[in-house]
Structure 1
Amino acid sequence: MRLVVSVCFLSGPGVQGGKILVFPVDGSHWVNMDLLLQSLHARGHEVTVVRTATSWYIKEKAPHYHSITITLPEAISMEEQDFFVTFLVKMLAIQKQGASVMAFLSFQWEMLTSLSQMHYQASQLVVEMFENKSLMQSLHDTQYDVVLLDPGLPFGVLVAHKLKLPTVFNVRWITSGEGHFVVAPSPVSYVPTSGCVVSDKMTFWQRVKNMFHYLLNICIDRFIVSPHYDRLVERYFDPDVSFYHLLQGTDIWLMRMDFVFEFPRPTMPNIVYIGGFQCKPSKPLPPELEEFVQSSGEHGVIVMSLGTLVKGLPVEITSEIAAAFAQLPQKVIWRHAGERPSNLGNNTLLVKWMPQNDLLGHPKVKAFVAHGGTNGIYESIYHGVPIIGLPLLFDQFENLLRLEVRGAANVLDVTKLTRENFLEALQEVLHNPSYKNSMNRLSDLHRDRPMHPLDTALYWIEFVMRHKGASHLRTESYKMSWYSYHSLDVIGLLLAVLLMLTAVTLGSIWFLCSRLCRRRKPKQE
């Protein structure tokens, strides 16, 4: 069936040799974007990537894209490899030691300051481009068909608007949090807000918490993030242009999520779901790794990876993890870039890199210890491997909650982790078949679709290229004032009419009663 669908897709209408301008975000976001670019290049498109001179993932030279390198006065924070590690160390210290309210508020202020600085640095990339007249003329003359961008740092939106090009977002997160909240109706009564670790079935106090996070996200976006881009809009565009409207006005949103994983919520016709598009069947392991896996016998293997942030875990935590692993009969493959634990068991293999997708697809892998990054979660779902979750930052808590609610993960608080509770969580997932059964069900649902999500993404990018946009799928509601959007003016008019009718009715009754009383009075006399 998959072969038939792929053949139909490849033989369908295409774009011969289209030109695509790309504005990616560095770090783990680039892993997803790069896969799309490789596939677009394989289909004959010419891809140009805008990067900064300090990018640490996005290379200047690659076989599948050309690059435009912009030199900034200072590196964008997300392009510094130790930025998030330092952030994690500070956050863990506050959570573990129960720091004072002032220390917590000081950390939050530092975090918001760093966020503001990050977007200021990103906005300067636009200044460098717009002030380079020869570069902008070259971009204009190249006649690109579409701009593909990650709106986590949305500077590419302004360049696309200046070049009058249609846009496609490769997105899950945007300046104000999760992307749906910008483009689709998002009732906070049952749609969890970014940063609020709750399910879609909330108690009253959870709805209060959810509303608080929603308002907090709006305030951060309006007063911390957007002002940097608003100043650029005032400087380089007409007075009637709004940065927020530019975000909402993109043609297609390639949303990196699947409702097998996400809670149900309202959506829009220009949102296309491509969650798990990076997933693929596993390939054979390198010989030495395969030998280690096979040596596990009937007990199988546990895979652990906390991404690059594992360097930020204190040695006392990694030692507890190592001690728990040493008590298991299973073999363990642990991606670990930090200090080697002194109590590492003979059953545990430390590696600086692993073929994660290929390992998760191996039949001897029984469980995955993960931090809850989106890529790892979808690979686990695809291959049906249950998770022991150790969330560290940002959306990882929300991601793992979604799997925990569905019975496919056991989640621990890393600041309260001991060898005892970690070992208990491992044994629970390994020996309770409900975790494996729940993940297998999610895997079956995730795979049961008419077209692979990567093919879906390529189709819609080419759709926008063929038709010079997709305005027929985009609502214009974002141009309405807030009171019109919520029909407060209509409600106000109806209330006014109702009050007027009520007043007229009561006045008429009073008038008739008073006349009737005056008529009865002379007769009584």
Structure 2
Amino acid sequence: MRWLYSSIILFAIAVFLSCDCDAANETTFVNTTKSKLKILGVFGHLGKSHFDVFKPLLEELARRGHELTVLSHFPRSENAKAKEPLPTYKDISLVDTELGVYVDIVDLHQIHHNIFSILRELYFLRFMADVACSTGLQNPAIKELLRSDEKFDVIITESFNTDCFLGFVHRFKAPYLGLSSSQIMPWINKDFGNEDNPSYIPSIFVGFTKPMDFPKRIWNRVTLSILKLAYDYWYRPRDQVFANEAFGPDLPELSEIARQSQALLVNTHSSLHGSKPQLPNVVEIGGLHIPSKINPLPSDIAKFLDSAHEGVLYFSLGSMIKSTTMPQEKLDAILTVLGSIPRKVIWKWESDELPRKLDNVMVKKWLPQFEVMNHPNVKCYLGHGGLLGLSESVYSGLPMVLVPMYGDQFHNAAAVKTRGSAEVLAFNNLNEESLRHALDEVFNNTRYRENAQKLSKAYRDRPATPLETAVWWTEYIARGNGSPFLRSEGADIPWYQRHLIDVALVLIIVSAALIYIIFRLIKLLLSLLRAVKGMLGAREKSKWKKID
């Protein structure tokens, strides 16, 4: 009989393999010979720093001859068009002159960190989503596009704080991929079925260094659950209302469209944010915005930096924070410390002059950040932990002093601190003593510089540039080769299956039943043994009576 079973098994394997090969031979690939693609880019968020990440990819796709239609609040300027005409790049401007964009809008008087900060973060993200959806989707140019008979090979859009723009995916029936300017938001991980295990992966909002101790793991778990529940039951219902008004009442649930994303390009890199499991269609393109060459500095800045042989501190709080709103007590502490250090300071400051003159400090309303960071005399970056400036500092090998304010800045600051190349200060505790100590540490302890250089080498060392990687994935998805080969089954199963709750319950019930049965059997066996022992005892007793 054994040979018969072996023959049946071998026959079944042969049939399975032949069926699998036939199915593979019948697979049809789409657009494999199409070299020029029609691409729709949808970027409704008003944050300039976000669009600065995506802009190099969009322009490079246009350079390669692909036809782009880009919806955004940041159309190419006349100066940019004159410098580099891109005839296949078409802007659909969402600019609202009354509303403006998110530049120099954060008032530092409003920054207070406590246990309720995560709730304020959620409210702020929702507020920005409401603005983006209500203004963007009502734009006449968008309504005209929706009435057109345009066809697109692929749609690329930001995956951040709203799904209301995913109606374009349904309207034009095109594959789409998401772009994230920051670490992946928790709800996006859920849509992809991507790993976000809170036992060892810190949430983007908590700012924990690794490894996390037990209390941090508890808070990380709680935070992750709050974020996902808020998105499912607060964000998405509001997004659905905006989207239905723009795309019609027959629009599917946005959560269903979100799960159709075929790839996610993320502005991170494992050298900085740490190694963790990622699906093959979750691709790191950290540093996408970093230019391939260093441009010459303006003459006055170059002269200032060239003469700073003792070293320079570069100070910038990014594009959204208005430095001039710094609370007076903290500003006085910063001015006192910076004015007393034996080094020059170049500072992005939104006014022409500081409240008091400092001989060693140059202030500018705008600075060519990457070029400044790469000047050999610049030795330290004092910033807020925004991912663009932080990534440029990592690329340039600069140690840092970081004062995170909101959003992913805590997470980014914790990541670079874990790598040993930064000191992190809490904004609540920013004073003369803490700032002076942090700057002394970073400038005078060679460990920070050495770690920053090591991190820079790891960050740069990749099989392809971030831009090349992003272009390849965009073209790959447009060719139609992504679905269904990249889709994780984990994204489509309910939460209780993903966490094996049903399996655990069955195993618990079966184990309990087995334990109960074994207990009853043991009890029955003991009863039988007692009965047999009693019978034997009675028989022995009867025997002795007869002898007597």
Q: TM-score range by the shorter chain?
A: 0.7 to 0.9
Counterpart for residue 341 of structure 1: 354
Superposed displacement of residue 131, structure 1: 12
Counterpart for residue 44 of structure 1: 65
Moved more, 207-216 or 127-136: 127-136
Q: Does 1:79 align with 2:79?
A: no
Contact 2:53 2:181 in 1 (8 A): no
Return the alpha-carbon distance in structure 2 between the equivalents of residues 71 and 114 of structure 1.
21
Q: 1:379 to 1:115 in 2, by over 3 A?
A: closer
Contact 1:129 1:136 in 2 (8 A): no
Q: Does 1:31 align with 2:31?
A: no
1:208 counterpart letter in structure 2: I
Moved more, 218-227 or 40-49: 218-227
How do 1:382-401 residues align onto structure 2 when only pairs under 5 Å count? 382-401=395-414
Counterpart for residue 287 of structure 2: 276
Counterpart for residue 38 of structure 2: 19
Counterpart for residue 91 of structure 2: 67
Contact 1:176 1:217 in 2 (8 A): no
Counterpart for residue 496 of structure 1: 509
% identity of equivalent residues = 27
Task: Specify which of 164, 167, 174 is matched with residue 158 of structure 1.
Answer: 167
Return the alpha-carbon distance in structure 2 between the equivalents of residues 245 and 415 of structure 1.
41
SS state of the match for residue 307, structure 1? Answer: coil
Q: Does 1:148 align with 2:172?
A: no
Deviations 1:229-261 (A, max 9, x none): 244677868999543343233111101100110
Return the alpha-carbon distance in structure 1 between the equivalents of residues 202 and 40 of structure 2.
33
Q: Does 1:262 align with 2:284?
A: no
Q: 1:471 to 1:128 in 2, by over 3 A?
A: farther
Counterpart for residue 89 of structure 1: 109
Return the alpha-carbon distance in structure 1 between the equivalents of residues 150 and 335 of structure 2.
55
Deviations 1:274-320 (A, max 9, x none): 11122234222222221111121x21222111113124323443333
Superposed displacement of residue 337, structure 1: 0.6
Q: Does 1:243 align with 2:254?
A: yes
Structure 2-normalised TM-score?
0.80
Return the alpha-carbon distance in structure 2 between the equivalents of residues 35 and 517 of structure 1.
85
Q: 1:518 to 1:319 in 2, by over 3 A?
A: closer
Q: 1:500 to 1:228 in 2, by over 3 A?
A: same
Superposed displacement of residue 457, structure 1: 0.8
Q: 1:318 to 1:443 in 2, by over 3 A?
A: same
The number of equivalent residue pairs is: 492
Return the alpha-carbon distance in structure 2 between the equivalents of residues 176 and 348 of structure 1.
38
Q: Which one scores higher on RCO, CA 8 angstroms, separation ≥ 6?
A: 2
Return the alpha-carbon distance in structure 2 between the equivalents of residues 174 and 422 of structure 1.
27
Return the alpha-carbon distance in structure 2 between the equivalents of residues 232 and 157 of structure 1.
11
Task: Specify which of 458, 462, 481 is matched with residue 475 of structure 2.
Answer: 462
Return the alpha-carbon distance in structure 1 between the equivalents of residues 351 and 479 of structure 2.
48
Return the alpha-carbon distance in structure 2 between the equivalents of residues 179 and 437 of structure 1.
35
Name which one, 1 or 2, has greater alpha-carbon Rg: 2
1:47 counterpart letter in structure 2: L
Deviations 1:413-441 (A, max 9, x none): 33333334323322321221111100000
Contact 2:395 2:460 in 1 (8 A): yes
Q: 1:133 to 1:209 in 2, by over 3 A?
A: closer
Deviations 1:369-394 (A, max 9, x none): 11111111111111111111122222
SS state of the match for residue 376, structure 1? Answer: helix
Return the alpha-carbon distance in structure 2 between the equivalents of residues 295 and 519 of structure 1.
104
Superposition RMSD in Å: 3.3
Gaps of 5+ in 2: 1-31, 540-548
Counterpart for residue 220 of structure 1: 230
SS state of the match for residue 57, structure 2? Answer: helix
Task: Specify which of 285, 294, 303 is matched with residue 291 of structure 1.
Answer: 303
2:101 counterpart letter in structure 1: E
